[in-house]
Chain A
Amino acid sequence: MRLTNGMRMSVSDHSLALAAAGGDREAFASLLARHYDRLFAFAFRLTGARAEAEDLTQDICLALPAKLARYEGRAAFTTWLYRVAVNAAHDRRRRAATHARAAEGWGDWEQARQAEMAETAEAVDWLTATLRALPPELRDTCALVLGEDMTQSQAGEVLGVSEGTIAWRMSEVKKRLRAVATEERAS
């Protein structure tokens, strides 16, 4: 079915995604327009830093056409999109790690530089610093549960883990935050 512009406003993400997967350019543009801000917000919650969030959002948007080609509509579009986003963030972190490893070849100065860069970025604010103190899977979970107001079961669906795991992760987050706070007070 060809969708007209008037129809698009009320069309579901799901239909738009399927149309885009079929090569409908306008449908893809609508999807992007509809979700960019939300993706950016989510990326910001995942990374805690504006520049990184922008880069991550770009990664996601650029990968979407290829992803969409395989979107079969079995999951809700937003769940699917979150999953793409989380995986993109994961890939990004891994690339950063690879980059850091490769950089070792340049010797100590590069490491010092990387550390410096990391520090500067870290100093952005409390949120950034706190997020960075958490391991990636806890960060993802936080962003979904706290930032996107998902239930533990929804977050579990996005991350591909059980509800129980999400519950455990959230309690782990609390535990770590407490530890960090104790440390801060001690120093």
Chain B
Amino acid sequence: MTDEFDKLKAAMKSGPPPPDPGAKKATLALAMQAFEDQREENAALRQGSAAEARPTPESPRKAGLMQGVREMFLKLSTKAGLAATTGIVAAGLAAVVIIPQMNEGGAPEVVTVSEGPTDTSVEPKVREQDESASEQQVARQEVVAADETRADDGAAGGAAATEAVEALTESEAPMEADAMADVAAEPAPAPSVAPRTATVARKRSATAGAANDGTLGRIAGTFAPPRPDEGTVARTAPDTEAYPEAESNPVKVASEEPVSTFSIDVDTASYSVVRSSLNAGQMPPADAVRVEEMINYFPYDYAAPEADDPAPFKPTVVVSETPWNPDTQLVTVAIQGEMPVVEDRPPLNLVFLVDSSGSMSDANKLPLLKQSLRLMLPELRPEDQVAIVAYAGSSGLVLPPTPAGDRAKILAALDNIGAGGSTAGAAGLEQAYAVAEEMTEEGEVSRVLLATDGDFNVGLSSPDEMKDFIEKKRESGTFLSVLGFGRGNLNDALMQSLAQNGNGQAAYIDTLNEARKVLVDQLTGALFPIASDVKIQVEFNPAEVAEYRLIGYETRALKREDFNNDRVDAGEIGAGHSVTAIYEITPVGSPAVLNDPLRYGSADASVAPAQAEQDSPELAFLRMRWKEPGESESELLEFPITEGMGDATSETRFAAAIAGFGQLLKGSDYLGDWSYAEAIELTNGAKGEDEFGYRAEAVNLMRLADSLSR
């Protein structure tokens, strides 16, 4: 006997840990349910043809297939079945939903615990048959998978990066590691050089993962010394080719490139990521900071559109001092969406697509989601409808469309969702859309709200495939919003991309407060679009403006010609949403001009001194395009931006403070000596009403960042 053998024997004998009472209880309860199902099944069999239904070992039919409910589901979970018969699935699905661990292998796979025959001599043969039956099933899955094996390079990188960061930080306090992983998974901003088509670039960059090698290196340096074997994980991060460079928008010379075009962005995820990172005691990596998402996280009190306004939103433009540079000015373009009277809005059809995979069981995931939905229910009107689809291994309708007034039923269904099993996002998504379409009546708004920790980890569909699907559904009028819970792992990129393609919002929910903000305070806005494909184009007047710089919106850049192309997708404004974009402009003749005028070419305008003949010369010309929800043709709104336009308010000052904060976090070159202390001072003077304390929270984060950055 070798030492190792004795050691193995001792380890085997030393005994397993005592079974967990909770797990035991749950398993026993489920087993009793299975027993009941089986009993019914047997009763049914006795009435039918027993010979056919009871497989003998020689039967080609797969031995040990659990029958009844689960078999029915197996048949129904083909695409056609799902679309046609979700109602029926609902009736029989409780078992599948409650016992997600059973179906870890992927959506259509059913637990197949095979049983050897009592006659041992036959066993090998039968095992083989069992195997082949399962193999058929596997093969079927693989056909599906094979169609969709186009791996998304970007997402690949994001994953590798996230994992690497996790690995590297593992030896540190878990909180820190988690927070860093969150942040590293943020998509990198798009390259500042406009790529082939900006929309594609935007989508790509959203899908593309985050940290490039540089970031990884920096994080690795900041944190734990990498353990030798894990260092190799970090090095496996794909080369930078897969990642658009994460650079802030550069200063542009107005005479060379007078036109700036971008899509609005109502996502707020970046702010939550920054917050969780700072609260965990770490500076967020620069690439995780998207300034426009930080600015747009906050509610603003801009002037709302009047009844006779042509657009469902009202733009407000303010030209004001730049807090961090006395020689430049800020042009703030603020858009306030109208807030239709709640009673007037059409009924909402909401389908919650809930990820109930094992990874969702953390307290800040599924339980938080349940609490959030509880908060949200009272805000809905009785005629709104709610349905819940869970996905984990297989997907299932947990709650058929139910009037929002029937709170008891909805809450009971919520409580029945347990976390377990792996995630099959694609199948769940299909079912959720099928349910949403069923619910939609003429003039109604349907939205799928996907709640997940980003774990689409069953390879039945590629991220590309999933995006195409969502895009197609968007055309048919069902929108998608993504609610991220818990640690934003690699699929933060995927979530962003799904929401963008589904005309929705991506938001992170890390606390109950955040849930209230996203689901309750902004309920109508998030759920009820008033304008879609909103694009902004600003043409600067080189006679007045020497240089300009768009702060943020790197991932939302559009090509100049895309502005008039209605087929190019852009952001959506929900009821009551506000969106803010800020340009920093350098007037002609200002000492802050960074670029010398060209010696050759059309330099005359930019070299010319400021033309002060007019009282308020035009600095730029603003054009906005949007579509009424459901329309395919855009409308245009345009007006000039003149010097000294508008008055700075606490709203624009606050937006500027957050813009400064975001740039500080990104390590921007344009801020000079301006520091967190000044950002705090500016914010404190611009808190406005701050009914929910969001702005006060921002000040706290600035203080944290201030001390962490020293």
A152 within 8 A of B: no
Residue from B37, B145, B167 within 8 A of A102 (CB atoms): B145
| CB of B237 to closest CB in A, whole Å | 9
Q: In the complex the two chains form, is A110's CB within 8 Å of B34's CB?
A: no
**With A58-B27, A61-B30 as given contacts, are A160 and B120 in contact (CB-CB < 8 Å)?**
yes
Least Cβ distance of B106 to chain A in Å? 6
B4 touches A45 (CB 8 A): no
Q: Is B664 an interface residue (CB 8 A)?
A: no
**Bound form: Cα–Cα A90–B35 in Å:** 23
The answer on a CB contact under 8 Å between A174 and B148 is: no
Nearest B residue to A67, CB-CB: B115
The answer to whether B106 and A99 touch across the interface, beta carbons within 8 angstroms, is: yes
- Does B160 sit at the interface, judged by CB under 8 A? yes
Are A84 and B113 in contact, CB atoms less than 8 angstroms apart?
yes
A87–B156 Cα gap in the complex (Å)? 35
Which residues from chain B contact A20 at a C-beta distance below 8 Å?
Answer: 35
Which of B11-19, B194-202, B668-676 sits within the interface?
Answer: B11-19
- How far apart sit A177 and B104, CA to CA, in the bound complex (Å)? 32
Known: A72-B118, A174-B5. A59 touches B111 (CB 8 A): yes
Q: Which residue in A104, A107, A130 is a CB contact (below 8 Å) of B155? A: A107
Closest chain-B Cβ to A138's Cβ sits at a distance in Å of 11
With beta carbons under 8 angstroms apart, the residue of A68, A102, A127 that contacts B141 is: A102
What band does the interface of chain A fall in when counting residues whose beta carbon is under 8 Å from B? 35 or more
**Once the chains bind, are B145 and A105 in contact (CB under 8 Å)?**
yes
Q: Let me know if A44 and B16 touch, CB within 8 A.
A: yes
Please name all residues of chain A whose beta carbon is closer than 8 Å to the beta carbon of B138 when the two chains form the complex.
98, 101
Contact A107 B457, beta carbon cutoff 8 Å:
no
Interface stretch of the complex, out of A1-9, A10-18, A141-149: A141-149
Give the chain B neighbours of A70 by CB distance below 8 A. 54, 115
Q: Let me know if B31 and A65 touch, CB within 8 A.
A: yes
Q: Report A-chain residues with C-beta under 8 Å of the C-beta of B158.
A: 109
Nearest Cβ in chain A — how far from B47, in angstroms? 14
Q: Which of B317-325, B459-467, B529-537 contacts A (4 or more CB under 8 A)?
A: B459-467
Interchain nearest-CB distance for B346 vs A (Å): 38
A66 adjacent to B28 (CB under 8 Å): no
Query: With the chains together, A102 CA to B4 CA distance in Å?
Result: 36
Task: Say which residue of B23, B30, B159 sits within 8 Å of A112 (CB atoms).
Answer: B159
Question: A33, A91, A104: which has the most chain B beta carbons within 10 Å?
Answer: A91
Tell me the bound Cα distance from A20 to B35 in angstroms: 9
- With A29-B32, A58-B30, A63-B64 as known contacts, state yes or no: A75 contacts B113, CB within 8 Å: no
Of the candidates A41, A95, A177, which one forms a contact with B4 in the assembled complex, judged by CB atoms under 8 Å apart? A177
The 8 A CB mask of A31-72 against B (1 = contact, 0 = none) is 011001100110011000010011101111111111111101
Quick one: given A29-B32, A66-B66, A177-B2, are A116 and B24 in contact (CB under 8 Å)?
A: no
Let me know if A132 is at the binding interface, CB within 8 A: no
| Contact indicator B12/A142 (Cβ below 8 Å) | yes
- From B104, B115, B120, B163, contact of A99 by CB (8 A): B104
* Nearest CB of chain B from residue A81's CB, rounded to whole Å: 11
Cα(A99)–Cα(B102), bound, Å: 13
CB of B109 closer than 8 Å to a CB of A: yes
**Which residues of chain A come closer than 8 Å to B116, judged between CB atoms?**
83-84, 87, 160
**Minimum C-beta distance from A92 to chain B (A):** 8
Q: Does B76 contact A (CB under 8 A)?
A: no
With beta carbons under 8 angstroms apart, the residue of B66, B150, B490 that contacts A113 is B490
User: B303 near A: Cβ within 8 Å?
Assistant: no
Q: Are A59 and B105 in contact (CB under 8 A)?
A: no
Q: Given contacts A63-B113, A112-B159, is CB(A105)–CB(B16) below 8 Å?
A: no
Among residues of B, the one whose C-beta sits closest to the C-beta of A100 is: B459
Contacts across chains A and B counted by CB atoms under 8 Å: 254
Is there contact, CB below 8 Å, between A103 and B160? no
A40 and B111 form a contact (CB under 8 A)? no
- A156-183 toward B: CB 8 Å interface, digit per residue (1/0)? 0100100000000000011001101100
Q: Are A107 and B102 closer than 8 Å at their CB atoms?
A: no
Considering the chains assembled together, what is the distance between the CA atoms of A55 and B149 in angstroms? 29
Query: A105 contacts B459, CB within 8 Å?
Result: yes
Contact across chains for A75 and B105 when beta carbons are under 8 A apart: no
Q: Which residues does chain B contribute within 8 Å of A36, judged by CB atoms? A: 19, 24, 27-28
B146 interface residue (CB < 8 Å to A): yes
Once bound together, how far apart are the Cα atoms of A178 and B4, in whole Å? 7
CA distance A113 to B157 in the complex (A): 11
Residue of B at shortest CB range from A50? B17
> How far is the CB of A39 from the nearest CB of chain B, in Å?
9
CB 8 Å contact bits of B444-484 with A (1 = contact, 0 = none): 00000000000001111111000000000000000000000
Take A50-B17, A107-B152, A112-B236 as given contacts and tell me if A25 and B102 are in contact as well, using a CB distance cutoff of 8 Å. Answer: no
CB distance from B146 to the nearest CB of A (A): 7
- Residue B9 interfacial (CB < 8 Å): yes
The answer to the question of B567 belonging to the interface, with a C-beta cut-off of 8 Å to chain A, is no
B708 within 8 A of partner (CB): no
B8 within 8 A of A: yes
Q: Report the minimal beta-carbon distance from A185 to chain B, rounded to whole angstroms.
A: 11
Contacts of B131 on A, CB cut-off 8 Å? 94
Question: Which chain A residues lie closer than 8 Å to B15 at the CB level?
Answer: 41
Docked complex Cα distance between A112 and B236 (Å) = 9
Q: Are A181 and B115 closer than 8 Å at their CB atoms? A: no
**Given A75-B118, A104-B149: A181 and B113 interface contact (C-beta under 8 Å):** no
Contacts of A84 in B (CB 8 A): 113, 115-116
Are the C-beta atoms of A23 and B5 separated by less than 8 Å?
no
Question: Judging by beta carbons under 8 Å apart, are B11 and A130 in contact?
Answer: yes
Binary interface encoding of chain B residues 470-509 relative to chain A, with 1 for a CB under 8 A from any of its CBs, else 0: 0000000000000000000010000000000000000000
Q: Compute how far the CA of A173 lies from the CA of B142 in the bound complex, rounded to whole angstroms.
A: 34
Nearest CB of chain B from residue A148's CB, rounded to whole Å: 9
B39 touches A108 (CB 8 A): no
The reply to whether B113 and A60 form a contact with Cβ atoms under 8 Å apart is yes
In the complex, B441 has a CB within 8 A of chain A: no
Q: Which residues from B are CB-within-8-Å of A112? A: 159-160, 163, 233, 236
Tell yes or no: B124 within 8 A of A by CB: yes
What is the CA–CA distance of A183 and B20 in the complex, to the nearest angstrom? 36
Chain B residue contacts of A65, Cβ below 8 A: 31, 34-35, 37-39
A40 to B21 alpha-carbon distance, docked (Å): 11
Contact of B16 among A45, A106, A157 (CB under 8 A): A45
Q: Mark B98-124, 1 if CB is under 8 A from A, else 0.
A: 010110111001011111101110011
Q: Which residues of B contact A80 (CB under 8 A)?
A: 118
Whether B112 contacts A91 by the Cβ 8 Å rule is: yes
Give B166's nearest chain A residue, CB to CB: A116
Is B684 at the interface (CB under 8 A from chain A)? no
Q: Per a CB cutoff under 8 Å, which of A95, A107, A113 touches B151? A: A107
CB of A128 to closest CB in B, whole Å: 9
CB of A33 to closest CB in B, whole Å: 7
Query: Do the beta carbons of B12 and A147 come within 8 Å of each other?
Result: yes
Our pick among A32, A62, A146 for the contact of B99 (Cβ within 8 Å) is A62
Output the least CB separation between B200 and chain A (Å): 19
User: Once bound together, how far apart are the Cα atoms of A146 and B12, in whole Å?
Assistant: 6
Separation in Å of the A57 CB from the closest CB of chain B? Answer: 6
Residues of B within 8 A of A116 (CB): 163, 166-167, 233
Contact check, A98 vs B28: say whether CB atoms are below 8 A apart.
no
CA distance A126 to B12 in the complex (A): 11
Query: Looking at the complex, which one of A23, A44, A63, A110 makes contact with B459 (CB distance below 8 Å)?
Result: A110
11 contacts between A and B (CB under 8 A): A23-B42, A25-B32, A58-B99, A102-B142, A103-B457, A106-B156, A106-B457, A106-B462, A107-B153, A112-B236, A177-B8
Lowest 7 CB-CB distances: which A-B pairs, in order?
A: A107-B151, A109-B159, A44-B16, A160-B123, A63-B113, A65-B38, A177-B4
Please list the residues of chain A having a beta carbon within 8 angstroms of any beta carbon in chain B. Answer: 20, 23, 25, 28-29, 32-33, 36-37, 40-41, 44-45, 50, 53-55, 57-70, 72, 74-75, 80, 83-84, 87-88, 90-91, 94-96, 98-99, 101-110, 112-113, 116, 126-127, 130, 142-143, 146-147, 157, 160, 173-174, 177-178, 180-181
Beyond A105-B151, A112-B159, A126-B7, 5 extra complex contacts between A and B, CB < 8 Å: A74-B119, A96-B104, A104-B145, A109-B151, A177-B4
